[in-house]
Structure 1
Amino acid sequence: MQQQLTDRVVILTGAEGIVGQAVLAELAARGALVAMVDRAPAGSPAAATAAAMRLNGIDLGDPAAASGMVERVVKKLGRIDGLVNVAGGFAWEPAASGSIETWDRMYQINLRTVVVTTQAVLPKMLEHGSGRIVNVGAAAALQAGKGMAAYAASKSGVARLTEGLAEELKDQGINVNAVLPTIIDTPTNRKDMPDDDPARWVGPDKLAAVIAFLLSDDASAITGALLPVRGRV
């Protein structure tokens, strides 16, 4: 594999999840120095080997916690070249009869974490006049399905944040983009949708490759993009 990201320092949120693990493996294989960040406890030892740094128990909805995390990364790795916002979650619930707490939770984990982490990282990128931010949105941000209103609304917020930040930062050397996957091939989705064909879904490794591309110099002309990653759904 071409070493497109050699020695680039990348913060990866949601790093303990299925997608996070795939992104970590892809970035490490391309030579990046990845700081794994997650609220969850540390998971697989293999991930620790691939990562340059591992930070667990971090509440990315808390500005103080996010800022502290960023300072620890800079202290150990020297700078921040990229941020990949994977952290998030999903809830299926009818909008007409669902709980307002579900809307609050989707906002907190899918949008607030992205805003807070990005605001914590940006001053470091602006110091160097360069950086790449890649947000993991969802195809549902463009067209919500049944039972997906709260989730889709939060991911739509990620899309609008991506567009707005890209406009703010386009003359300051910082590119901001988002990937919009459809169904990702995870054990949970296979369990919840046993009659579907997972071969049509988006493999975590395939999504990770797109994210790695957006972090690379080959994507220097791309900012403000909401890139569909549909598989064959």
Structure 2
Amino acid sequence: MNETSPARTVIVTGGTGGLGAAVTRHLLDAGWRLVVPWYVEAELDRVAPHPNLETIRADLSDEQDVEAVVECATKDEARPLYGVVNLVGGFAAGRRVHETPIEVLEAQLSINLTIAYRVIQAALPELIRHGGGSVVCIGSAAAVRPFPGAATYVASKAAVSALVQALAVEYAGDNIRVNGLLPTMVDTPANRDAMPEADRSSWARPTDIAEVIGFLLGDSSRAVSGASIPVVNVAGSD
């Protein structure tokens, strides 16, 4: 069997973002059927129409919208839901804990942890029904190598890694694998614009992350679950 199977469906949250567009292209090229929820209409320009791509407007903090996404992903019984890729996330930094309102922590937990939890929770019954699947979440290298001024972000991403490990144990008996990626800064246009003077030599490239996600979804990684995998630009090139 190839790395992926065209007879399977994957939900990719954040699939129209700076990282997500690269992941979407890679998985479509590999033959997956994709369901990509979107919230900002302008981001749809990043993904070209494709016969195996379905986009759906959704607020992933809303339970009914999440259910609609899963329903879209499960309407084709010939290509059952097999994978969930959680790319939605946000970043906040700049102040130390005693200077940071609790609302910042709550917002970081909401976008980085709660949305992933909600989408996975909604998809799990379908993965179980079809005999298993693969879930991939985006954490952060900062979760294991924190830096000052980003405690709320670090805590939320560390929680994502903990969720990955807990899910991997809970659903191993259902043949559901759950893994997380720990990228350094991701080399997207938005991050380049925000930090024009930064040293980008170790920034993780979206295309590299997409290839790792493709591997984790595919059958060749069937023995990998509960992993937190660093993703960096090892070559140190643009």
TM-score normalised by structure 2 residue count: 0.91
Q: 1:152 to 1:47 in 2, by over 3 A?
A: farther
Distance, in Å, in 2 between the alignment partners of 1:136 and 1:46 is: 20
Code of the residue aligned with 2:60 in structure 1: it is L
Match of 1:47 in 2: 48
Match of 1:229 in 2: 231
For the 8 Å contact 2:137–2:180, the answer to whether it is kept is yes
Name the amino acid aligned to 2:83. G
- My pick for the range that moved more, 13-22 or 96-105, is 96-105
After TM superposition, which residue ranges in structure 1, 4 or more long, deviate above 3 angstroms?
A: none
Using the alignment, how far apart are the partners of 1:25 and 1:223 within structure 2?
24
> For residues 76 and 149 of structure 1, what CA distance do their matches in structure 2 show?
42
Is 2:86–2:138's contact at 8 Å kept on the other side of the alignment?
Answer: yes
Question: Which residue pairs with 1:106 in the alignment?
Answer: 108
Equivalent residue, structure 2, for 1:153:
155
Q: Which stretch of structure 1 is more off in the superposition, 35-44 or 87-96? A: 35-44
Instruction: Give the Cα–Cα distance (whole angstroms) in 2 for the partners of residues 140 and 19 of structure 1.
Output: 18
Shift in Å, 1:49: 2.6
Q: Distance in 2 between matches of 1:49 and 1:133?
A: 23
What stretches of structure 1 of length at least 5 have no aligned partner?
A: none
Number of the residue aligned with 1:5: 4
Matched residue of 1:84: which SS? strand
CA RMSD of aligned residues (A): 1.8
Identity %: 35
Q: Shift of the alpha carbon at 1:154?
A: 0.7
Deviations 1:110-161 (A, max 9, x none): 1000000000000000001110000011111112211211111111111000
Which moved further from structure 2: 79-88 or 64-73?
A: 64-73
CA drift of 1:50 comes to 6.7
Point out the more displaced range, 42-51 or 191-200: 42-51
Distance 1:6 1:28 in 2: 11
SS at structure 2 position matched to 1:83: strand
The alpha carbon displacement at 1:107 in A equals 0.8
Q: How many residues align?
A: 231
Q: Which residue of 2 aligns with 1:74?
A: 74
The C-alpha deviation readout for 1:33-69, integer Å capped at 9, x for no partner, is 111112222521743337521112x121222221122
Structure 2: runs of 5+ lacking an equivalent: none
Contact 1:19 1:204 in 2 (8 A): yes
In structure 2, what is the Cα distance between the partners aligned to 1:212 and 1:202? Answer: 16
CA change 1:91–1:48 in 2 (3 A) is: farther
Residue identity in the other structure for 2:144 = L
* More displaced 10-residue stretch of structure 1: 25-34 or 39-48: 39-48
Aligned to 1:96: 98
- Is 1:182 paired with 2:184? yes
Contact 1:88 1:109 in 2 (8 A): yes
Give 3-state SS (helix, strand or coil) of 1:44's partner. Answer: helix
TM superposition score normalised by structure 1: 0.93
Of residues 160, 178, 197 in structure 1, which corresponds to 2:199? 197
